[in-house]
Amino acid sequence: MEKGSQSLKSLKFYIHTFGCQMNENDSERLSGILQAEGAQTSDSLDESDLVIINTCAVREKSEEKFFSYLGRLDSLKKRKNITIGAVGCVAQLYQSQLLEKKPIIDFVLGPDNYHLIPEIIQCHHGDKFISTKWNQKWHEIPQNLTYRENRISAYVTIMEGCNNFCSYCVVPYTRGREKCRPKQNIIQEVKDLAKKGYKEIQLLGQNVNSYKDPETGKEFPSLLKEVNRIEGIEWIRFISSHPKNFTQNIAIAMKEAEKACHQLHLPIQSGSSSVLKRMNRGYTKEEYLEKIVFIRKLMPDMCLSTDIIVGFPGETEGEFQETLSVLKDVGYANIFSFRYSPRSHTKASREKNAIPFKEKRRRLIELQAFQRNIQLDHNRSLINSVIKVLCLGKSKKDSLIYAGRNEGNQVINFKSKKDVIGQFVDIRITSCGPYSLIGEIAP
């Protein structure tokens, strides 16, 4: 960091975000904190004085993306006096090693330390800085210090951290133990967003269904009920749900809250109870499927999505086939699928019976091709129906093409002569692919 670069007033900054929605929301907070001190966002790396990289460690590939991005900053740093900060999950995981191994980095901040950013820029002239402490309790960053570019749909973090220690997952080591945000702060933030005209709220946490208000002990259904009462907000979503914590009461609360979208991301990870046990997931395939039956009985139009890991250590061909059969039985509208990737600190990374890379790749390709057909069938069944869509943006290539999402969180591209960004519109579905729907404004 250059000596004397302490003022934030004329500082231009650029944030590059990897990873999940929570990282995106964290970047919105970092941006808001810096702007409140007079700094300005910049779209151009070349014009920036400060570059913050918000990192993700969930898979090897996520980490590699960060290191290759860092490599690209080398030439910029040689040309210009810029400050480079690594924040987020990789920062938390490797801490001081990052500063030692990557001299290009000036500071390292873990996810619980973002409030320190103005102080670092103002006070640590030229010194390297690191803070990766975890707070025991929720640390509230005033909500007016979140800068959102999206004016229609807003992320609202309700809890952070994870106590589940799935045997493959690094997140408990990057985000620490579960901490819940006081309900009144969440409600205040959502009310404020409603006043600003936001239509959709996405409640975020690593394990949202284990939410418990630290002040009253009230659980997720009560939070959902209160958010549902806030005027102006029309759609509520939440992510991620853990099947172990997704109770019948939560399904009932979803049905009763008319603004809760009939959409649920419920990561199963594997369709084999034996693999699930080795993953330390805390449910069997049968228990998971029973939950799906209960949910669908209550809300037959529920649109489901999931996460799958293929090639977990010791996964047999038969166990893999069981996963395919669950995909068929449930009929997910969308899945996120990954090759198992060994992560530091985790129990699974110490297992000896690794599946060879080629085999993991073959399973992933087979699974994705299998799911592609399920999605095509599902999407084809929607052709000619009229669907309510929240328009979220416009195509960059064709000014008549708009993009939005339906209640099921599926992407819909449609033609419109009028600008309908931010509005709910009725769209007649005319064609589809496996990953999106195409339509036109219904007369």
Q: Find, among 285, 252, 271, the residue nearest to 315 by Cα.
A: 271
DSSP-derived letter for residue 67 is H
Give CA separation, 174 vs 135, 161, 406, in Å: 13, 8, 33
Q: Name the token pair of 174.
A: 């990057």
Question: Rule CB under 6 A: is residue 17 a binding residue for ligand SF4?
Answer: no
Rounded Cα distance between 133 and 109, Å, is 9
420 phi and psi angles, rounded to 5 deg: -120, 20
Does 303 engage in binding with ligand SAH (CB under 6 A)? no
Q: How far is the CB of 166 from ligand F3S (least distance, A)?
A: 13
Distance (Å) of CA 86 to CA 36, 52, 94, 161, 323 = 21, 6, 11, 19, 37
Contacts of residue 369, defined as CB under 8 A and 6 or more positions apart, other chains included, come to none
In angstroms, give the least distance from the CB of 387 to ligand SAH: 27
Q: What is the smallest separation between the CB atom of 427 and ligand SF4, expressed in angstroms?
A: 34
- Sole window of 29-37, 127-135, 167-175, 224-232 interacting with ligand SAH (rule: CB under 6 A): 167-175
Q: Which residues contact 158 (CB under 8 A, 6 or more apart)?
A: 180, 181, 186, 203, 204, 205, 208, 211, 223, 238
Phi, psi of 284 (to 5 degrees): -100, 170
φ, ψ for residue 141 (rounded to 5)? -95, 125
Encoded amino acid at 201, one letter: I
Q: Is 89 in the site for ligand F3S (CB under 6 A)?
A: yes
Q: Is 293 helix (H, G, I), strand (E, B) or coil?
A: helix
What does DSSP assign to residue 149? S
Which tokens hold the place of 270? Answer: 């594997």
Interface with ligand SAH (CB under 6 A), residue from 148, 179, 343, 363: 343
281 binds ligand SAH (CB under 6 A): no
107 part of the interface to ligand SAH, by CB under 6 A: no
From the list ligand SAH, ligand SF4, ligand F3S, none, pick the one residue 92 interacts with, judged by a Cβ distance below 5 to 8 Å according to partner type: none
* CA-angle at 107, arms to 158 and 100, nearest 5°: 120
Bridge partner residues of 313 (DSSP): none
State yes or no: residue 169 binds ligand SAH (CB under 6 A). yes
Nearest to 220 by CA among 230, 231, 208: 208
- Least Å distance, CB 240 to ligand SAH, is 4
Q: Is 166 in the site for ligand SF4 (CB under 6 A)?
A: yes
- CB under 5 to 8 A by kind: which of ligand F3S, ligand SF4, ligand SAH, none does 309 bind? ligand SAH
With CB under 6 A as the contact rule, the residue among 107, 168, 211, 283 that binds ligand SAH is 168
Q: Which does 343 bind (CB under 5 to 8 A by kind): ligand SF4, ligand F3S, ligand SAH, none?
A: ligand SAH
Is residue 313 within 8 A of residue 280, CB to CB? The reply is: no
Among ligand F3S, ligand SF4, ligand SAH, none, the one that 224 touches (CB under a kind-dependent 5 to 8 A) is none
d(CA 86, CA 387): 42
Minimal distance in Å, beta carbon 1 to ligand SF4? 33
Contacted entry of ligand F3S, ligand SF4, ligand SAH, none for residue 172, CB cut-off 5 to 8 Å set by kind: ligand SF4
- 3-class DSSP string for 3-24: CCCCCCCCCEEEEEECCCHHHH
Query: Count of residues binding ligand SAH (CB under 6 A)?
Result: 17
**Using CB distances below 5 to 8 A depending on partner kind, what does residue 193 bind out of ligand SAH, ligand F3S, ligand SF4, none?**
none
To the nearest whole angstrom, how small is the minimum distance from the Cβ of residue 345 to ligand F3S? 12
Pick one of 65, 115, 148, 175: the residue that binds ligand F3S (CB under 6 A). Answer: 175
Q: Per rule CB under 6 A, is residue 269 in the interface with ligand SAH?
A: yes
In terms of CB distance, is 40 or 245 closer to ligand SAH? 245
Answer for the pair 161, 172: CB distance below 8 angstroms, yes or no: yes
Interacting residues with ligand SF4 between 215 and 274 (CB under 6 A):
242
Which partner from the list ligand SF4, ligand F3S, ligand SAH, none does 390 bind, CB cut-off 5 to 8 Å by kind?
A: none
Distance between CA atoms of residues 23 and 43, nearest Å = 19
At which residue do the structure tokens 């995106």 appear?
24
Contact status: 19 vs ligand F3S (CB under 6 A): yes
> What residues make contact with ligand SAH under the rule CB under 6 A?
58-59, 168-169, 171, 206-207, 240, 242, 267, 269, 307, 309, 338, 340-341, 343
> What residues make contact with ligand F3S under the rule CB under 6 A?
19-20, 22-23, 56-58, 62, 88-89, 171, 174-175
> What residues make contact with ligand SF4 under the rule CB under 6 A?
162, 164-166, 169, 171-172, 206-207, 242
